[in-house]
Structure formats: C-alpha cells, structure tokens
Structure 1
C-alpha cells in the first residue's frame, strides 16, 4: 500500500507481475479497479481481508474496459460483493450484463479449452448493479471522487480513472505496458498495446495526451503497476505508435503480413529496450514481450483491414 490507500494486486494471470488489479481503501470502505479473471477472485478477496475489510465493505468495482484480463472476473467477483456496483463504459455495459458475445468472440480466438484454463466461466452481472460511465462520470467513493474519462485508442469501450487525492490515473491499457523486469537505470520501459480488434493510433495518441494534460504524478497500469517519469513515457509511446503505423503500412501488402508485422515489432522493441538500458539481454526481453508482440501484430492487422473498409 502507498500513502493514498492504493494496493497493487497481482491477479496471477499468465505469470507473476503481468496483470494487476487495484484495491483502494477510503475510511473503511473499498473499491476495486479492474479485477483480472475468475481465477483472480481469491487473490482480490485475500488482499481485502488483509486490510481488515469484508466483502460487504466494498462499494465499487470499476473496470477500465471489458477485455477479459481486466474484467473477465467481474461477474464472479460481484457475486461475492453484496453491496458493490459495477462501473463500466457505455460500449461495454451490455457485455457485462450478457457476456455471451464476449465469450463467443474470445472462444473463437483461444478455443474452449484455453478459455476455461485462462479465464474460467464468465458470469453475468445483474443489470440493476451496473452503472454506465459516460465521459466525465464521477464516482463518489465514500467522499473521495473518482473521475472516469473516455479514452479510446486501445479499445472503444475504454475509460481511465482519475484519483485527485493521489494525482494519478488508473490507465488500463491506454498508457501502454511497462513490466518491472525491464526497468533500467533510466527508469521504466514502456510499449503501446494494439491488441485486437479496436486499435486506433490517432485516437490512442489523443487519449495519452488527454491524460497528460492533467499533469499527473503517477500512472497505475494494469500491465504492470505504478510508474512515474511520465513525460518521457508519453513521448516514448507517441514515437512507438507512429513507428507501429509505419510498420503496418510497410507490411500490409505482403503475403506473409503477420510474420512481417511480428518480426518488425520485435526488432522495434528490442532496439528500444537496448537503447533504454534494460537489464535483460535480447532473449530475455523477447521472452517478457512475446505475448504482446503477437497480440500487437494481430491488432495492427485488424486496424489495417478496418482502415481499408
């Protein structure tokens, strides 16, 4: 916990220190921001108990967007939190109330066996417990105001959460990915995430700039944890989004487009990691980023195809 009552929770999705949820404590009440998968629920409840809180003491679950590594466990967690309400983007609310399309889409990508292994059974949230967060929506968390701002670019159903008390954003995937294994002498290393299927580069750059206009002191990323040095990270993200667009255009007409995209992204991130002074060698960096390279390649392809239409 830090001085602002914010606890980082490792959801244990995929590997250690890959996927975070957050518990915020304010005068004896709790709020979760993102929740991981069904398999993450015991971790979240254990941290809650360690803070001397009961499930009935939780007022809110805010999900930055409905991708399953952020919100897959929302139904299961809400079933354990009798007094909580779920705050979700207008474009994501229907998928929390009726997750059938979400399940079908993810199953088509991962297969039924991997869906159960990674995410478990996705449960619905009762409609009367869902609060829709339009741009500028404020949540009254026991007198502590949490502001939700629409931040498309990674997904159209994405908002970020501003906590004025800590002067921090909870950024979901809008402010990229920054894994602690890659921290170097210059501080955190960051890459954007373009995972399928709603990557929009200009919208993402605008969202990053919008977050930075609040002059935050910290960003709390789902992948992974709290970061500072925000001016440099924002600049790095803008540069890489432009580089990713150029990679997409360069690979688009090739018969081996996916291989080209993945190889070029790998080269981009390894070059930047080396220049940053990441403590791992190329093989180590590639191991940490392997899943994200694959997903970013898929996301770029989705954007290229959508752009043509």
Structure 2
C-alpha cells in the first residue's frame, strides 16, 4: 500500500520484512530514505520502475545513520543515480566519503567472507555529492519539505526525517523494531535496539519524545514498515528501555555478564511477547529475535563499560 507517495521497499537483507528502505515520489522527483546493502540496489531500482520513474529523477538519498543495514549500499546506489545527492548526519559524512573505517570495524566482528556475502564491498561517495544535515536541515524534494532531526540514543550520528506534507517520520532505529511476525489482535509489538556501540538510554528516551511531539500520523521504521498508534508504541518503548537498562545494571558486576544479559533479555522478550498475545515457543522467539538479543546484549555491555555513557 502506497500512501502520500511513499513506497515501502523490502531490501531483502537477512529475511523478508526485516529491513526496509523508502522511496518518496513527489512532483516528478524522488528521494530514497536508507538503502540497505549493495545487494539491495537492484530492488531499489526496480521500485523506481514500479513507481514509473527512472534513476535520473531521483534527487536525494537520505541516510538515517551509517550502520551497514541502512547505508551499506549507499555508494553503489549513488553510482546509479546521476543527479542525486546524499544527505547524512554530520558525524556520518566522512564514513560515506571514505568507508574504510566502517568496513574494517564490521569485518573485525564478522570476518571478510561474511562481510562480502552479507553486504558487498563498500563503495565511496564523492565528497561533492555529500550534504551534511545538522539538526533542522530541510531537504527540498521539489517543494516537499523533509526535515532532518538529530535523534541520538541508538547512535550519535542518527537523524530522523519528518515529512511535513505527509505528517510522518522516518525513524531509522530510533523508534525501535517491530517485526510483523509478532503482530497479534493487540496490534504491533515493538522493542528498542541497543546495538553497539553508542547506546544512550537518556538520549533515546528524549529522541522518542521529540518525534512524538510532532504528533505524526505514522512512523516508518527500517525494521519494519509503517506503524501507527504511535503514542501507545512510544509508551512500550520507554518501558522496555527502562527494563533493559535494569537488566544491564543487575548484570554489571557478574563474571559471566554477557551470558547473563542474553538470558535475561530472552526472558524479558518472552514475557512481553506472551503478554502481547503471541503464542510462539522459545525456539520460535530465538529464530526471530536471536540476532537482536545478541546485539542488544553486546550494546548494553559496551554501555556499561563506558561508564553508562554513550
């Protein structure tokens, strides 16, 4: 379903309905928001064709942040968009111009074989095509104002995009994760992401409230899709952030801290999904959330090691 000229694109990363990019079409022009990986680029170009557009009509690629599931394919996509400029938080711009540090950091975690298979080799973007977007920066899509908002908490280089015409926000990872596999009669299930390495609970609480204050009709999450009833979801996010912080603090001095964090987060999500009316078993929970549990535990550990600072 396309609303307000906004097209949801499944990038194909990891599994169906896991990782989204967006195409906004307005007055003959287009703007992508996030782009997935190199392997996602054919899907984004196909979405352009489905929208009746060609690559020359795309004016902008806007990145919410430079984590590779959001921005890994930026250089490859920009090579196909002759007239587009790339918009990114000032803290992230250098990583788009020279992605070697991004690659090295991720390769240290995953290894070169996994990196090549999951993301593809990162391609730089020419500096003259990169636009830094400080807080409040307006991207003009042929008269349609897309306002960039500094929204730290998940990452210090994170921005959200407020589409003033549609009254919706593109939230990257600031407004959490909501997988369709957990939808029930009670609605959508949502949880925060504390992926390493810049989790900051106070900043994340504040960023969620900042987005909520806009009174948007909906949020567009990278993971995954359009979500409505945003006040209820924001309340759930706040509760879960506090619960996850409490788990981290309880495990802080444990000799087996990471294992304790993984176990406690698994228990927390099992309890909350059951309360939400989801009837899957523990194996199914781990199938859908196992990677998130591992990354969230790592991120909480980094936060503790940094003295509970971002």
TM-score by length of 1: 0.98
Q: Is the 8 A contact 1:75 1:125 kept in 2?
A: yes
Name 2:177's counterpart in structure 1. 177
> CA 1:250/1:29 → structure 2, altered by over 3 Å: closer, same or farther?
same
Aligned-partner SS, 2:211: helix
User: CA–CA distance in 1 between the matches of 2:23 and 2:99?
Assistant: 24
Name 1:35's counterpart in structure 2. 35
Q: RMSD of the TM alignment (CA)?
A: 1.0
Q: Is the 8 A contact 2:31 2:61 kept in 1?
A: yes
Name 1:63's counterpart in structure 2. 63
Q: Is the 8 A contact 1:183 1:279 kept in 2?
A: no
User: CA–CA distance in 2 between the matches of 1:235 and 1:265?
Assistant: 19
Consecutive unaligned residues in structure 2, runs of 5 or more: none
Aligned-partner SS, 1:307: coil
Shift of 1:283: 2.8
Q: Is the 8 A contact 2:2 2:8 kept in 1?
A: no
Name 1:262's counterpart in structure 2. 262
Name 1:250's counterpart in structure 2. 250
User: CA–CA distance in 2 between the matches of 1:308 and 1:208?
Assistant: 19
User: CA–CA distance in 2 between the matches of 1:30 and 1:280?
Assistant: 40
Name 2:74's counterpart in structure 1. 74
User: CA–CA distance in 2 between the matches of 1:187 and 1:42?
Assistant: 32
User: CA–CA distance in 2 between the matches of 1:2 and 1:42?
Assistant: 20
User: CA–CA distance in 1 between the matches of 2:216 and 2:266?
Assistant: 30
Q: Is the 8 A contact 1:21 1:222 kept in 2?
A: yes
Consecutive unaligned residues in structure 1, runs of 5 or more: none
TM-score by length of 2: 0.98
How do residues 161-172 of structure 1 correspond to structure 2 at under 5 angstroms? Answer: 161-172=161-172
Shift of 1:279: 4.9
Shift of 1:301: 0.5
Name 2:211's counterpart in structure 1. 211
Name 2:295's counterpart in structure 1. 295
Shift of 1:281: 3.4
Aligned-partner SS, 1:148: strand
How do residues 1-309 of structure 1 correspond to structure 2 at under 5 angstroms? Answer: 1-307=1-307
User: CA–CA distance in 2 between the matches of 1:251 and 1:143?
Assistant: 51
Range moving further from structure 2, 60-69 or 26-35: 26-35
> CA 1:93/1:251 → structure 2, altered by over 3 Å: closer, same or farther?
same
Shift of 1:166: 1.6
